[in-house]
Chains A and B, each alone.
Chain A
Amino acid sequence: MDLTYTPEQNAFRAEVRSWLEAHVPKGKLEHYDATREGFEAHRAWEATLKSGDWGMVTWPKEYGGRGLDLIQWLIFEEEYYRAGAPGRVNQNGIFLLGPTLMEFGTHEQKQRFLPPMASGEEIWAQAWSEPQAGSDLAGVRATAVLEGDEYVLNGHKIWSSRAAFADWAFGLFRASGSERHKDMSLIFFPLDAPGVTRNPIRKINGHVGFAEIFLDNVRVPAFNRLGDEGQGWHICMATAGFERGLMLRSPARFQEAAAALAALWQRRKNTCDPALEGAVVRAHVNAESYALNIYQTASRLMAGAKIGAEASTNKIFWSEMDIHLHETALAILGAEAELVTPTGEHDWLDDYIFSLAGPIYAGSNEIQRNIIAERMLGLPR
Chain B
Amino acid sequence: MDFTLSDEQQMFADTARTLLGDTCTPDHWHKLMEQGAAFDAARWAQIVENGFTALIVPEAAGGMGLGELDFALIAIEAGYVALPEPLVESAGIGAPLLASLAPDHPPFADPAAIIAVAPAINPVVANADIAAAIVIERDGHAFVATPDQVTLTPMESIDPFRRLFRITWDEANATDLGPADWGLALDRAAVFSAAMGLGLAQRAVDLAVGYAKDRNQFGKPIGSYQAVKHHLASAQTAIEFTRPMVLAAAAEVAHGDVQSRARASQAKIVALEAAEQAARASIQVHGAMGYSWEVDVHLFLKRALALKQSWGTPAFHTSRIATRVFSQPVGADQTFARENENA
User: Which residues on A are within 8 Å of B, measured CB to CB?
Assistant: 1-6, 9, 13, 71, 77-79, 81-82, 251-253, 255-256, 258-259, 262, 266, 277-278, 280-282, 284-285, 288-293, 295-296, 298-300, 303, 310, 313-314, 316-317, 366, 368-370, 372-374, 376-381
User: Is B248 a contact of A3 with CB atoms below 8 Å?
Assistant: yes
Given known A-B contacts A3-B3, A379-B213, A288 and B232 have beta carbons under 8 A apart: no
Interchain CB contact under 8 A, A82 and B205: no
A-B contact pairs, 12 of them (CB 8 A): A1-B247, A284-B321, A291-B332, A292-B248, A293-B244, A299-B1, A316-B233, A372-B237, A380-B213, A380-B223, A380-B224, A381-B224
Contact of A1 among B2, B226, B245 (CB under 8 A): B2
**In whole angstroms, what is the CA distance A380 to B234 when docked?**
17
What is the size category of the interface that chain B forms with chain A? Answer: 35 or more
A289 engages B266 (CB within 8 Å): yes
> Which of the 9-residue segments B50-58, B80-88, B322-330 touches chain A?
B322-330
Beyond contacts A316-B233, A379-B223: 17 other A-B pairs, Cβ-Cβ < 8 A, are A1-B5, A256-B332, A262-B325, A262-B326, A280-B325, A284-B330, A285-B266, A290-B241, A293-B244, A313-B237, A313-B241, A369-B230, A372-B233, A373-B229, A374-B229, A377-B205, A380-B213
Give Cα distance in the complex from A252 to B318, angstroms: 22
State the CA gap A256–B149 with chains docked (Å). Answer: 54
Q: Would you call B229 and A379 a contact (CB within 8 A)? A: yes
A-B pair count, CB < 8 Å, reads 166
Partner of A293, one of B6, B221, B241, B332: B241
CA of A4 to CA of B338, assembled, Å: 10
Tell me if A's interface is mostly helix, strand, loop or mixed.
helix
- Residues A81 and B332 in contact, CB atoms below 8 Å apart: yes
Of the residues A5, A293, A378, contact of B1 by C-beta under 8 Å: A5
| Distance in angstroms between the alpha carbons of A289 and B240 in the assembled complex | 10
Contacting residue for B229 out of A2, A77, A369, CB 8 A: A369
Q: Which residue of the partner chain, among A2, A277, A285, contacts B2 with CB atoms under 8 Å?
A: A2
Do the beta carbons of A300 and B4 come within 8 Å of each other? yes
Question: What string of 1s and 0s marks CB contacts (under 8 Å) between B242-254 and chain A?
Answer: 1111011001100
Q: Which residues of B contact A291 (CB under 8 A)?
A: 332, 335
Cβ contact within 8 Å between B244 and A1? no
Cα separation A313 to B244 with both chains bound (whole Å): 13
A379 CA / B209 CA spacing, docked (Å): 7
Nearest residue (CB) in B for A263 is B330
Q: Which residues from chain B contact A1 at a C-beta distance below 8 Å?
A: 2-6, 9, 69, 247, 251
Interfacial chain B residues near A298, Cβ < 8 Å: 3
Q: Give the residue name and chain of the A residue nearest to B249 (CB).
A: A292
